[in-house]
Amino acid sequence: MPCAAGKCVHMWRIPKQYSHFVFSVIQSGITCAVAAAIASLPFHSQGTFAVHWVHAYLLSWVVMLPVVLVAAPVIRRLANAVTR
């Protein structure tokens, strides 16, 4: 339990059996954030980078999260098959 200023806070934890879903949410979120930032760079000079980045990020994350949820187990099995 993390403690701050003498008060301990009970952290909300997700059961291990759902780690695949947690991994997928984190991985797709980071990947989409970076890809959306790169795709939105041309809008920086117009002063509309943030607006374009948010739209690109949300759209790409909504599309990619289901893909990652399905692909992650397949990729994990493939990686295990080709490594020692």
Strands 3-4 and 7-8: antiparallel
pLDDT beneath 50, residues of the chain: none
Please name the residue that has the structure tokens 């080709």. 82
CB 22 within 8 A of CB 30: no
What pLDDT sits at residue 2? 63
Compute the distance between CA of residue 23 and CA of residue 69 in angstroms, rounded to an integer: 9
What pLDDT sits at residue 5? 67
